[in-house]
Amino acid sequence: MNEPKVAITVLCAALLIPAQRELAAQVASKIEAGQYTVSDGALPLSAIRLAPTVQFEFPHATLKARGSAFVSEQTLQLADGIVSGTFTSPTVYGVRAEMIGNASRAVDDRSLGTDQVDVQTRIHFRFHEHGGLWVGGGVARPWRVAVFSAADVTDAGGWAKLGGPTAKFGVATLTATFTNFAFTKIASVHDTGSAQLSCAAGGAAVSNRTPIINAMFSESGATGACERQSRFGDLEGSLHWEVGSLELTAQMGRRFGDSYDVTDDSRQWTAATATVWLTDRIAIVGGGGRQPALPLRGLPARSFGMAGLQLAYWPMSKSAVPVSLPRAPLVKSFEMRPSAPGMHKIVIRVSGVETVDVMGDFSDWSPLMLARRGRDLWELSVPLSPGMHQINIRVDGGPWVAPPGMPTARDSFGGEVGLIGVPDKASH
């Protein structure tokens, strides 16, 4: 039980180290702490939940580490940690490829815990600026989950985005996903009627069981075990709604599969979370609902209620949809002000986006990515010599536009550029 405690402690400590602003990657982090009540069929258990996250964002890759620990009466009830990496290809004609790798560990005080490695690829198709589809597939390899050996995961989904940052009702993103899990399961003839049928129908006898599986079957006295190919599917719809300082996220889902693979408590689920941002970096979070079992990770279905505080040093991308949106929502404000000698700081406020870039004569017209410094705050320092400079900005890889709130001119290529004058101190 010490191992996850150490991991969570290290992750929390990492959040307190201010990252160098000149790092090639953007660094974002947040920590959520609060009261959490969970019930998996037994008596409700109240615990303090600590959930740190650190994320490094590169132009075409993201590395993320996150964890959660539930502490009750000085005892660690459940710890869950995941490290993930995502590579994304450039978008070509609205198509983008994505590869995701995850390594995770969950430790429960009532079980051995689980480890899992999974790799998944996705192809995204974007239609205009307000919707898209994706299809994907991959493999998951759980360890220490006694009844699973491997799983093939395929998924497909679609999303639609309504409204905009300046719309009266804010931005709403609707997502629908279907995920199919095809896996090999170790069944015992003593389990259920369907398992007996499965084994009787020719399921291969378990001959290459891992030591842990062998131990499990010897402990439970289960004989006549067989390998059984099986599958279930999850259909989930979700809504993410942002209006002003309020964010609402709700999910509703249903699991399909026979009763041997899908327990009654995981047939359907509903959950909702509300986040109210008090400042750029502090939010109150509350929610509740039901989560289905995650068989591959050995986590049971459970009902939960939570209320807590979120401290976001450099808040995470919300990623309501699984692919960045190449659109140009209205930027709330744009500001350039002198910082260090010869340097100007660009400060942009725009919410609901994943990336913000600038380019201009000062960068030889190469895009420079801004770093997220708050919920809707993006910053970058650039060298500017005295004189007139031209600048363009873009969000989420969309079209280059002139920043708002500054003089503009046509750019010779059918677009516009922003104009900024940097005075020569010697002349004033």
Give me the residues that bind another protein (CB under 8 A), please.
59-61, 87-90, 97-99, 119-121, 137-139, 141, 149-150, 152, 182-184, 229, 359, 361, 364-367, 385-388, 390, 400, 407-417, 419-421, 423-424, 426-428
Which two structure tokens, joined as six digits, stand for 215?
């131990």
User: How many other CB atoms sit within 10 Å of the CB of residue 129?
Assistant: 15
Look up residue 47 and give its amino acid: A
* 3 state SS of 6: helix
Interatomic CA distance for residues 20 and 26, integer angstroms = 9
Judged by beta carbon, residue 37 or residue 408, the one nearer another protein is 408
Look up residue 255 and give its amino acid: R
* 3 state SS of 301: coil
Least separation, in Å, of the C-beta of 258 and another protein? 18
Least separation, in Å, of the C-beta of 100 and another protein? 10
Those residues whose C-beta lies under 8 Å from the C-beta of residue 242, and which sit 6 or more positions away, are: 170, 171, 172, 248, 318, 351, 352
Least separation, in Å, of the C-beta of 389 and another protein? 9
DSSP assignment string, 125-174: EEETTTEEEEEEEEEEEEES-TTEEEEEEEEEEEEEEEE-TTSTT-EEEE
CA-atom Rg of the chain in angstroms:
25
User: How many other CB atoms sit within 10 Å of the CB of residue 74?
Assistant: 5
Q: Hey, which bits of 315-355 come out as E strands?
A: 333-338, 343-349
Judged by beta carbon, residue 1 or residue 150, the one nearer another protein is 150
Least separation, in Å, of the C-beta of 312 and another protein? 28
Interatomic CA distance for residues 20 and 22, integer angstroms = 5
Least separation, in Å, of the C-beta of 139 and another protein? 4
Judged by beta carbon, residue 193 or residue 423, the one nearer another protein is 423
Q: Is 267 exposed, middle or buried (0-12, 13-18, 19+ CB in 10 A)?
A: middle
Q: Which helix (H) or strand (E) holds 2?
A: helix 2-16
Interatomic CA distance for residues 284 and 129, integer angstroms = 31
Is residue 81 within 8 Å of residue 9, measured between CB atoms? no
Judged by beta carbon, residue 114 or residue 390, the one nearer another protein is 390
Least separation, in Å, of the C-beta of 291 and another protein? 27
Judged by beta carbon, residue 22 or residue 424, the one nearer another protein is 424
Interatomic CA distance for residues 288 and 267, integer angstroms = 18
Judged by beta carbon, residue 224 or residue 404, the one nearer another protein is 404
Judged by beta carbon, residue 15 or residue 420, the one nearer another protein is 420
Judged by beta carbon, residue 280 or residue 416, the one nearer another protein is 416
Judged by beta carbon, residue 90 or residue 338, the one nearer another protein is 90
Least separation, in Å, of the C-beta of 75 and another protein? 37
* 3 state SS of 182: strand
